[in-house]
Structure 1
Amino acid sequence: MAGTDRQRELLAEGPAIILVEPQLGENIGMVARAMANFGLAELRLVRPRDGWPNEKARAAASRADHVIDAVRVFDDLSSAVADLNFIYATTARPRDNFKLVRGPEEASLDLRARHASGQKTGILFGRERWGLTNEEVAMADEIVTFPVNPAFASLNVAQAVLLMSYEWMKGGGKGVSPYDHRQTPATREHLNSLFAYLDRVLSERGYFRTADKKPKMMDNLRGLFTRPAFTVEELAVLRGVLVCLEKFSPNKPKGRVVNEED
């Protein structure tokens, strides 16, 4: 429908939409328009190829100026998601990891429940040509994928955002049990701090057998620790245990550690 009724309430809430290395300004603009159509307003860009601001994006947004004007640009994905409590990664390709995979309707209802409980959430969308890397998917808590024709599964980024935005709006009237308010969901900043700590202490103790296997092993650790959706309190307990183990084994020789991946 062309045009906008300026007398009606402008809906602007919900999960942040995060585009990783988007290429064309027109695609960013169409994403902003799709978001505005269905009540989303927070758009984050990670290293947009043609820089920002981008007049082609504004033109393609078709008056979704409130989305374009509020765009935030980040140098890396870690910074873009640091303040979020829960993240979905969109992908059409099978992934070798431990993450739960949901459809768009189920994922959107979950996002509604988290939003109602005060959590900050986001949805990752990859590059136009080849999507998200395994490392980027590993930074999310769960995966959302679309029921598409297996012989023609590719969606452009604006289509993918449109589908998720529509499901977000559609789920607005459905009752979903809220999450427990008594505990604070961990942000990506808390998790990244834990991963940096694990990287250091495991490297010191020879957990990573060879340098070429370390990225995959770290991806597996990220998958393990993001899947349960830890709270701040739980991460504090876990880190306290690990620090205690490190403190009281100072003389343990650095050698090859036997682990489940052997």
Structure 2
Amino acid sequence: MKHPSERFNFALVRTFDSGNIGSAFRALLNMGFHHLWVIEPIHFNTDLIEKMAAGTKKELKHLKTAGSLHDFAKQMEMIYAFSARPRKDYPHISLNELLSEVNQSTARHIGFLFGNETNGLNNDELYFASKTVFIPTEHKHSSLNLAQAVLLAAYTLSGSEAFTSGPPLATSGDKELLFSSLYQLIASHLFQKAITAKKNKILLHNAFQKWPLSKKELTYLHHVFQALRKKAPVDKPF
């Protein structure tokens, strides 16, 4: 059995205020977590980060940076995106529902995305997420500071159960490669119009990201798609 802090990875995307990075890191340590990623920050002032992460200077070595969301996704088996509002094509669940899901999951590396302070996560940044998560608030005063949102999420997730990991699962990056392989096949053979293929792309992509594929299943499906591509008539719909 492993402690949940080992598999939970919190990520701040396009953070504007370096102080929020420090405050969020301190909040995670308060709740027993230490995996914080900073992805494409707009500002990254180490002095301000250390100031707002008061008392945690030694632990700041755990702070990780990523040049792109894809770099983060390559290491996560499941990703949830925090969003105050529902997004088209993504299931929208509450923080308590998230806790229930992660308690049932055998994934060893789960990521939680938090967007920019001003406009949150854009559609492109939701690309690797399987679901969006909201934090219930009073509707007249629903806006949360970024570090506050991280603290509330961490507090709730600190109640998660110890887990036993199952077989290695495909990462979000792995599933992206598999999706690309399948999409190339169906776009040229199932959809006769490019616009039809585009409309179905997001729907199919989201289905892939929600699919908890094992590494073994991933390899098998890659072989299947490769075989189909070799046998399929070139540029002719099925």
User: Is structure 2 residue 110 aligned with structure 1 residue 121?
Assistant: yes
| Structure 2 CA distance for aligned equivalents of residues 227 and 28 of structure 1 | 28
Deviations along 1:146-193, whole A, 9 cap, x unmatched?
A: 112233322221111101110122335xx77x56x2x32111231121
Q: Which residue number corresponds to residue 186 of structure 1?
A: 170
Percent identical pairs in the alignment equals 26
8 Å contact from structure 1 (residues 41, 66) kept in 2: no
Q: 1:108 aligns with which of 84, 94, 99?
A: 99
Q: Which residue number corresponds to residue 27 of structure 2?
A: 34
| Structure 2 CA distance for aligned equivalents of residues 82 and 24 of structure 1 | 26
Q: Normalised by the size of structure 1, how large is the TM-score?
A: 0.78
Q: Which residue number corresponds to residue 220 of structure 2?
A: 237
- Letter of the 1:121 partner, please give it: I
Structure 1's 43 and 60: CA in aligned 2 closer, same or farther, altered over 3 A?
Answer: same
| Structure 1 CA distance for aligned equivalents of residues 15 and 79 of structure 2 | 19
User: Is structure 2 residue 66 aligned with structure 1 residue 74?
Assistant: yes
| Structure 2 CA distance for aligned equivalents of residues 92 and 41 of structure 1 | 24
Q: Secondary structure at the match of 1:158?
A: helix
| Structure 1 CA distance for aligned equivalents of residues 192 and 138 of structure 2 | 40
Structure 1's 200 and 94: CA in aligned 2 closer, same or farther, altered over 3 A?
Answer: same
| Structure 1 CA distance for aligned equivalents of residues 38 and 192 of structure 2 | 33
User: Is structure 2 residue 161 aligned with structure 1 residue 163?
Assistant: no
Give the CA deviation at 1:225: 0.8
8 Å contact from structure 1 (residues 112, 168) kept in 2: no
Q: Which residue number corresponds to residue 260 of structure 1?
A: none
Structure 1's 167 and 66: CA in aligned 2 closer, same or farther, altered over 3 A?
Answer: farther
8 Å contact from structure 1 (residues 45, 72) kept in 2: yes
Q: RMSD across aligned C-alpha pairs, in angstroms?
A: 2.7
Q: Which residue number corresponds to residue 20 of structure 1?
A: 13
Structure 1's 208 and 199: CA in aligned 2 closer, same or farther, altered over 3 A?
Answer: farther
Q: Normalised by the size of structure 2, how large is the TM-score?
A: 0.85
| Structure 1 CA distance for aligned equivalents of residues 192 and 117 of structure 2 | 34
8 Å contact from structure 2 (residues 87, 132) kept in 1: no
Give structure 1 stretches of 5+ with no counterpart: 1-10, 258-262
Deviations along 1:87-124, whole A, 9 cap, x unmatched?
A: 11111111111x4333212313433454xx46111101
User: Is structure 2 residue 238 aligned with structure 1 residue 249?
Assistant: no
* RCO comparison, higher one (Cα < 8 Å, 6+): 2
> Following superposition of structure 1 onto structure 2, how do residues 204-223 of structure 1 map, counting pairs within 5 Å?
204-205=188-189, 207=191, 209-210=193-194, 214=198, 217-223=200-206
| Structure 1 CA distance for aligned equivalents of residues 110 and 59 of structure 2 | 17
Q: Secondary structure at the match of 1:41?
A: coil
Give structure 2 stretches of 5+ with no counterpart: none
Deviations along 1:235-255, whole A, 9 cap, x unmatched?
A: 2333332222211113452x6
Q: Which residue number corresponds to residue 8 of structure 1?
A: none
Higher share of residues assigned helix: 2
| Structure 2 CA distance for aligned equivalents of residues 65 and 151 of structure 1 | 37
Give the CA deviation at 1:134: 2.1
- Letter of the 1:130 partner, please give it: N
8 Å contact from structure 1 (residues 27, 157) kept in 2: yes
Q: Which residue number corresponds to residue 56 of structure 2?
A: 64
- Using the TM superposition, name which of 204-213 and 218-227 deviates more: 204-213
8 Å contact from structure 1 (residues 141, 229) kept in 2: no
- Letter of the 1:85 partner, please give it: E
Structure 1's 57 and 167: CA in aligned 2 closer, same or farther, altered over 3 A?
Answer: same
